[in-house]
A and B are shown apart, each in its own frame.
Chain A
């Protein structure tokens, strides 16, 4: 009995820590989505598909053209950032005055486009980077090095965005617009430019997430569906546009998935997370950190 408890505790601890590591990347994704929602008031349903395109970019650069991982990563971030800006320029900008639902559905159309573009261009095979990072053994616990790296890189990315938002003029303008989008135009801020920059940053964060996720997961056209919905749930749970709420919610979700996966299949972890989400909608409909009215 005692031996059983020991093993159980080790596994539990391992699952908890793996959950935290998973939470880092989820928090990064949620941050990008929250940023775009907070500033432009649009939900990119196709956000995870941008990540998918980034993962393909990484795959082809590293595997096909033999570019080193650390050179390919910035290029991918840049590429997805440009994609984000393009998405805003081509799809969202013409719809800025349309009902919000139309903007959301238009990005749903982009989801279809990106997914099927990947299917047509790259086929439906599962591709992987072929980089096998070692597994860290810490006592009796095993952690994937890739996850640790992703966690740290995600943290660095988030801190960088935080510094940008608080220390630069553009960042301050972005935060101001998220508070009042009408007045800022009167204060001499070019809202169109700010929207484009925000979209590019949102895209860049997706690109960073792509560089990290490609280390852990195989790429295929539908890979976005495996973490896209969970990202939306995290954002809603944290309160759409609420950065800190999204950050906390990401870790809560990651723990639920990780611990649920410990006791049963990984899918049940997801089911548990979804169920938790719906229960939370009863209790805190406007998000974890919503101000009480």
Chain B
């Protein structure tokens, strides 16, 4: 069903992205790009649920589980991240089911759902802090440097490898998004977000559909956490878990636009560039300023531009419902320098 023009645009865009590190290898800029890609993937994962009105503030918890389970298994049991990451993802998925099932079964929606998931990220943060003998508590945690095979330990020194890994993961996220976008689940979930009773009456299995999307979203977020941990080689409860991270996801997704596939990516580009610019511009005096700007922007966006930058741009660009992908690409391009 994908139009010819779209396909070509994606092809060109991807080729350019893959070729980029071989042409341009400034390590700092590559580092920023890797961060953007990893966080974009996390934000995309969040939006999978968020776009259907399932606003979760528990994704900080899932991300923390992905990161910490992988790192703990590596350090304490010597399990390679190749096994540790899937275990972390399964753990996050199990937690999502445990919390999600009663929520959806007993129809906890809206405020209640947000607050229950908020509790979830609170629990994960407290558990990581409380088990400080193993996790290092709030001081953070460093996976041991691999002595042998780098590939087995998923630790690479050069940025180009990481860039390609992050790109692949990010692309995987976008592909999953499109698969869901084309599936029946999407229509079911849209119906549910409009009116649960009506959807149930029309034969939609509300609990199962919601659980499915929550599971996908949680597992992907855990993967993002694990990749982030492997890349940074240092995690603290505050950078990968907790309420601040959850809110950051919500914020980026909303700023970029959570109803379009590249929206969360645009959100990541904007937030990370904003934070970096402030950090470089103001140095240590910038502590706090980036969040201040985030917060003000978040409030302004929700009041004036609830569809996000990319979503609103697309609305403006297209008179008809379907838009060629090339326009979307252009929208991303125009959204970037304006930050």
CB-CB under 8 A for A271 and B111, given A119-B288, A285-B106: no
Within 8 A of B (CB), among A253-280: 265, 267-268, 270-271, 274-275, 277-278
Tally of A-B residue pairs with Cβ under 8 A? 146
| Contact with B126, one of A110, A111, A119, A267 (Cβ below 8 angstroms) | A267
Contacting chain A: which of B140-148, B170-178, B202-210, B293-301? B293-301
Closest chain A CB from B326 CB (angstroms): 31
Within 8 A of B (CB), among A110-127: 110-120, 124
Closest chain B CB from A83 CB (angstroms): 15
A236 and B129 contact, CB distance less than 8 A: no
B289 and A235 contact, CB distance less than 8 A: no
- For residue B247, CB closer than 8 A to chain A, the reply is yes
Residues of B within 8 A of A111 (CB): 247, 295
A104 and B295 contact, CB distance less than 8 A: no
Report the separation of the CA atoms of residues A274 and B120 in the bound assembly, to the nearest whole angstrom. 8
Within 8 A of B (CB), among A11-69: 37, 43, 45
CB-CB under 8 A for A100 and B126, given A110-B295, A113-B292: no
Residues of B within 8 A of A268 (CB): 130
Closest chain B CB from A40 CB (angstroms): 12
- For residue A188, CB closer than 8 A to chain B, the reply is no
Residues of B within 8 A of A281 (CB): 102-103, 106, 108, 116
B112 and A236 contact, CB distance less than 8 A: yes
B126 and A270 contact, CB distance less than 8 A: yes
B296 and A113 contact, CB distance less than 8 A: yes
A105 and B254 contact, CB distance less than 8 A: yes
A116 and B250 contact, CB distance less than 8 A: no
CB-CB under 8 A for A112 and B291, given A106-B299, A106-B302, A232-B118: yes
B295 and A98 contact, CB distance less than 8 A: no
Closest chain A CB from B9 CB (angstroms): 32
Residues of B within 8 A of A230 (CB): 122
Closest chain A CB from B100 CB (angstroms): 11
- For residue B5, CB closer than 8 A to chain A, the reply is no
- For residue A4, CB closer than 8 A to chain B, the reply is no
Closest chain A CB from B302 CB (angstroms): 4
Closest to A104 in B: B114
- For residue B136, CB closer than 8 A to chain A, the reply is no
| Contact with A101, one of B55, B106, B291, B297 (Cβ below 8 angstroms) | B55
B287 and A119 contact, CB distance less than 8 A: yes
CB-CB under 8 A for A37 and B111, given A106-B303, A116-B288, A285-B102: yes
| Contact with B302, one of A45, A105, A117, A265 (Cβ below 8 angstroms) | A105
- For residue B21, CB closer than 8 A to chain A, the reply is no
A233 and B119 contact, CB distance less than 8 A: yes
B287 and A105 contact, CB distance less than 8 A: no
Closest chain B CB from A293 CB (angstroms): 11
Closest chain B CB from A102 CB (angstroms): 5
Among A94, A113, A230, A275, which residue has the most Cβ atoms of chain B within 10 A? Answer: A113
Interface size of A as a range: 35 or more
Report the separation of the CA atoms of residues A277 and B302 in the bound assembly, to the nearest whole angstrom. 30
B55 and A116 contact, CB distance less than 8 A: no
Closest chain A CB from B267 CB (angstroms): 13
Residues of A within 8 A of B251 (CB): 108-109, 112
Contact with A along B237-266 (1 / 0, CB 8 A): 000001110010011001000000000000
Residues of B within 8 A of A277 (CB): 119
Closest chain A CB from B30 CB (angstroms): 28
Within 8 A of A (CB), among B75-129: 98-99, 102-103, 106-108, 110-112, 114-116, 118-120, 122-123, 126-127, 129
B298 and A106 contact, CB distance less than 8 A: yes
B130 and A267 contact, CB distance less than 8 A: yes
B247 and A108 contact, CB distance less than 8 A: yes
Closest chain A CB from B82 CB (angstroms): 30
CB-CB under 8 A for A91 and B295, given A101-B114, A229-B119, A278-B119: no
- For residue A212, CB closer than 8 A to chain B, the reply is no
Report the separation of the CA atoms of residues A108 and B299 in the bound assembly, to the nearest whole angstrom. 8
Residues of A within 8 A of B297 (CB): 109
Residues of B within 8 A of A108 (CB): 57, 247, 250-251, 298
B291 and A116 contact, CB distance less than 8 A: yes
B130 and A101 contact, CB distance less than 8 A: no
Closest chain A CB from B294 CB (angstroms): 5
Closest to A112 in B: B295
Closest to A43 in B: B111
| Contact with B298, one of A112, A232, A270, A275 (Cβ below 8 angstroms) | A112
Closest to A91 in B: B299
B295 and A236 contact, CB distance less than 8 A: no
Contact with B along A213-242 (1 / 0, CB 8 A): 000000001000100011011011000100
B298 and A116 contact, CB distance less than 8 A: no
CB-CB under 8 A for A221 and B112, given A106-B298, A229-B119: no
Selected A-B contacts with CB under 8 Å, 14 pairs: A43-B114, A109-B302, A112-B295, A113-B291, A113-B299, A116-B288, A116-B290, A233-B119, A233-B122, A270-B130, A271-B126, A275-B123, A277-B119, A278-B98
The 4 closest A-B pairs by CB, nearest first: A112-B295, A119-B288, A109-B298, A267-B130
Instruction: A109-B299, A119-B288, A277-B119 are known; give 4 further A-B pairs, CB within 8 A.
Output: A104-B114, A105-B302, A229-B118, A236-B116
